[in-house]
Amino acid sequence: MRAAALYSAAGTLLLTTLAAAPAGGVPAAGAPGSGPGAAELRGTEVAAARAHATGIAFGACSAAEVPKAPSAVRCGTVTVPLDYAHPNGRQIKLTVSRGPATQKDPRNSKRKVPRQGALVYNPGGPGASSMFFPLVAAVPEWQRIASAYDLVGYAPRGVGRSAPLSCQDPKRFVAAPTASPTHPSESYKQQRIAQAKAYAHGCAQHAGSTLPFYTSLNNARDLDVLRAALGEDRLTFMGASYGTYFGAMYATMFPSHVRRMVLDAAVDPDPEKIWYRNNLEQSAAFEERWADFRDWIARHDDVYRLGDTAEKVQRGYDTARKRLAGKAAGGTVGPGQLQSTLLKAAYSDAYWPSRAQALSAYLHGDPKPLVEMAAPSPKAAAEAENLNAVYTAVECNDAPWPTDWKVWDRDNTRLARMAPFETWDNAWMNLPCAYWPAPRQQPLDVRTGRGELPTVLILAAERDAAAPYPGALEMNRRLAGSVLVTERDAGTHGIGGGPNKCVGGHLDAYLLEGRVPGRRASCAPHELPSAAAPAKASPRQGVQARPATRSAMSLRRPV
């Protein structure tokens, strides 16, 4: 799957200190005793109690943690067990950032706003960091929330400086130009199978015995330790994309530890869909969003000169792919880089003008805008490879995957007939899971009964490709008492804190006052961007939906 990112352009102490931790919250994954997950539950209690007693020693943020951070934003670390079944064994440190609540009402400078605690944010992935989250306090759409909450970001296990995971040399990871055939030949398929096997082997070599511990369940447990380290009896959390999945896992495992929870661009948590089927459904949804983008370009044919129908725009895209296959633009932008760059437009329509302009310029003889936009950045290679490594490890560890190539070939060949834009690139990205050397888990059955959990606010765009809308409906059904707010006829991946004032009003009312509109509510779509003036993506709405594929270097993160 793929995810939203906030920026495009957030044991010995057990018996003596457990009383300080919230009561209850027995994980659905296993109750105390000898059942499945019981040891990990006890380990989480030990680690959370220890973190509560220790706290976080915040200090100045380094440039590697939060570049150009204001002095008010501080950074630190929280210690968590590598393996929660052995909480006193090997420990790893997760980096954390925090910006204090301003306590200033942006609408009335004379009014002091009461602080409501910490708001922890995760932008998805797996593999995305929210270390920059405190910086959104300067964004108008976030200022009311920033007045009441400390904004807390962190790098999950494996990400950035949090016990970083790697699977291959970053230089190899960003090698370009690359191909991106919509209907690959048998020889190309065999080449990608070999690459997937090598990548899975590289993950095992680099990670060694730690590889099995990069999981969504451990991400949820880490979140509870972070809650305790922050001194919060109950967690206020906002997760986007993949962050909604382990946020919902947290709600299932620790319902009494939840104060408020926002799940933005909700992933379908059905255990039968984690993660193989979810990825197939995502590829089908990308085809619909790609059609939306082409329709928009066609309506602005006077600006982009790519054709006045979606079919003509598609022919232009196909022409560009063929040209780039023959000669890479700037020496590094091939069909893979083109596809990856235009894929970003499926995550946020704020990217439509710049992507359309780059495609148009290339087809009319000027490759420079496309090269500037799509060429791999050597400076970002290590970060991109790290992101992809964490993505792969978590998704492969989380659930069983088909291990017979014939299943992958059959399913993706069928799907590519009607959804060619993204199907095979998505398959290649996840194919290492077919050859994964670590044990697979059975996905947690995410669900809560009525009254077990405070009201959860779910946000979703009706035409979201990275997190198809049926997933939000399923999340709404599984979390009893949750409320779903839908942005109709819109497809931006991650809508909280964005340009839609109706959605923003529901988000503010919930986080600031605990008010919700009813079981379900809807908002009219936000205005589409102007073709004349290429827009920059909102600092809240990001696009990075999944890690960069090995066929194209761009910031992509799974749902």
Residues marked active site are found at: 241, 464, 493
Strands 456-461 and 258-264, by their bridges, are parallel
Torsion of CA 342, 343, 344, 345, to 10 degrees: 70
For 260, phi then psi, to 5°, come to -140, 150
Extract the tokens encoding 247. 């946020």
Extract the tokens encoding 490. 């819109």
Torsion of CA 360, 282, 455, 124, to 10 degrees: -70
Question: Can you give 360-379 as a three-state secondary structure string?
Answer: HHHHCCCCHHHHHHHCCCHH
Strands 104-105 and 108-112, by their bridges, are antiparallel
CA 36 to CA 456: how far, in whole Å? 27
Residues 353, 524 contacting (CB under 8 angstroms): no
Question: Can you give 388-441 as a three-state secondary structure string?
Answer: HHHHHHHHHHHCCCCCCHHHHHHHHHHHHHHCCCCHHHHHHHHHHHHHCCCCCC
Of 288, 235, 287, nearest in space to 21 by CA? 235
DSSP state of 481: T
**Cβ atoms < 10 Å from Cβ of 327:** 10
Residues 389, 127 contacting (CB under 8 angstroms): yes
Q: DSSP labels for 40-100?
A: HHHHHHHHHHHHHHH----EEPPTTTSTT--TT-EEEEEEEESSTTSTTS-EEEEEEEEE-
For 389, phi then psi, to 5°, come to -65, -45
> What's the helix, strand, coil split of the chain in %, to 5?
45, 15, 40
Handedness of CA 236, 498, 130, 477 (dihedral sign): positive
CA 402 to CA 408: how far, in whole Å? 7
Residues 550, 428 contacting (CB under 8 angstroms): yes
**Cβ atoms < 10 Å from Cβ of 468:** 26
- Amino acid identity of residue 40, one-letter, is E
Quick one: 406 exposed, middle or buried, by C-beta within 10 A (0-12, 13-18, 19+)? exposed
Q: Where are the beta strands (DSSP E) in 241-356?
A: 258-264
First-to-final CA distance of the chain? 4
Strands 59-60 and 74-81, by their bridges, are antiparallel
For 349, phi then psi, to 5°, come to -70, -10
